[in-house]
Amino acid sequence: MNFKQLATKYKTPLYVYNLDYMSERYKELKEAFKGRKSILAYAVKANSNLSVVKHFGDLGSGADCVSIGEVRRALLAGIPPYKVIFSGVGKSDDEIREAILSDILYINVESEAELFRVEQIAKELGSVSRISVRVNPNIDPKTHPYISTGLHDNKFGVDIDSAKRMYVLAKNSTALDPVGIHFHIGSQLTHLEPIYESAVIVADMVRSLLAIDIELKFFDIGGGLGVTYDKEVTIKPYDYAQAILGAIKGLDLTIICEPGRFLTANAGYFLTKVLYEKQNGDKKFVVVDGAMNDLLRPSLYNAYHKIEALVEDKSKTKVVDVVGPVCESGDFFAKNYELPEVKRNDLLIIHSAGAYGFGMGSNYNTRGRSAEVAVKGGEDRLIREREEFEDIIALEKEFI
């Protein structure tokens, strides 16, 4: 991709997505489960642009959604309802009602209280709601604490005993149809052992449910496969699939996998231009036109993103903080980062920005969110326009 041409054509700050790379990752993971009934349900929260969701839908993907807005996005993008899953700890009555009426594959239930609400709403609608239960296996995923979800300290899912009780309640209900079981222990997972241990625990529970005549159809293993941002050693899709298949040996279940970051992170680039260089004492700063409202991960997680300067002479380097214009000391893309000498209007490419980039953006400091561009087969197209001031204030009421 010619990033300089894209920056000139669409201006900066700018997100650029390589759809061909996304296709390769999708096919690699799908191939790993070859020979076994499986559905890849793209985790929409990773990158919810409609063109991205449709791209995966065209490849045969389903959709893992964590809000009714994401359910609507998936359906609008052409994902069949029977491949859409609705997860999330805090679903409102209106969201549950709409999910049932949309006849999606199932609602992923995360507490007994939620199970009762789904049952009550289904009864009011004169319907039967397909459900799965999210089990929290209490396994340490060995990842950042903000994206750990499989421990009892985390808000997600229910323990084994509670899950069994919920399945019995669902089995005996005229308004609920328990069809699946789900676990997801965290994001950016780079160790296979916690995933395998969790799968074994949940598969053993499936066997115990069979013993009391509760037969499930779907074994939802969540997502979370890690990617390389810097020097991480990641899990090979084949090894991942073999671990899951080993855990459920002897069970006739359709595997559902919910990849997000794995598919999109390294397909995305954030382009930003240098505004100024400045120095405070011994500290050197490179100030760019992108900011934490565009790409929050470095500020939120202290996450590492490779930064590449598109300059001809890279022989002279210096250690700098790469910072944005937002009025916060937390507005940075990197600290103490070695970059070549740069000057005003030089272009910086921030790599691995295709997951949890634009979607976590905001209008903080009344800054419009970046434009988004997709590249496929060497052709580029605008898939989301840059926000202008008028877009930001459009829903605000006139001051009285």
Contact 184, 134 (CB under 8 A): yes
Same domain, 270 and 221: no
13 cis-preceded (ω within 30 degrees of 0): yes
pLDDT band at 146 (very low <50, low <70, confident <90, very high): very low
Same domain, 254 and 134: yes
Same domain, 212 and 282: no
Question: Nearest-CA neighbor of 1 among 21, 25, 26, 23?
Answer: 21
Any idea what the Cα angle at residue 206 is, between residues 203 and 207, rounded to 5°? 95
Asked if residue 301 belongs to a known ligand binding site, the reply is yes
Chain position carrying tokens 């970051």: 261
Same domain, 231 and 112: yes
Domain extent, residue 231, equals 87-259
Distance of CA 239 to the CA centre of its chain: 22
Asked if residue 328 belongs to a known ligand binding site, the reply is yes
Same domain, 244 and 308: no
310-323: per-residue pLDDT in tens?
A: 999 999 999 999 99
* Rounded Cα gap, residues 262 and 76, in angstroms: 23
Helices (H), the chain: 3-10, 19-32, 50-58, 68-76, 93-101, 112-124, 160-171, 192-210, 237-247, 261-264, 297-301, 389-393
Same domain, 183 and 276: no
Token output for 301:
């997680």
pTM: 0.94
Mean pLDDT of 285-306: 96
Asked if residue 57 belongs to a known ligand binding site, the reply is no
Mean pLDDT of 14-26: 98
Rounded to 5 degrees, φ, ψ at 67 are -160, 160
Mean pLDDT of 221-246: 95
Same domain, 288 and 378: yes
Contact 294, 323 (CB under 8 A): no
Check whether 94 has a pLDDT greater than 70. yes
Same domain, 199 and 101: yes
Residue 234's CATH number? 3.20.20.10
Number of domains composing the chain: 2
Asked if residue 281 belongs to a known ligand binding site, the reply is no
Same domain, 198 and 150: yes
Mean pLDDT of 373-398: 95
Asked if residue 258 belongs to a known ligand binding site, the reply is yes
Asked if residue 15 belongs to a known ligand binding site, the reply is no
Contact 102, 84 (CB under 8 A): yes
52-77: per-residue pLDDT in tens?
A: 999 999 999 999 999 999 999 999 99
Which active-site residues does the annotation give? 327
* Rounded Cα gap, residues 378 and 1, in angstroms: 7
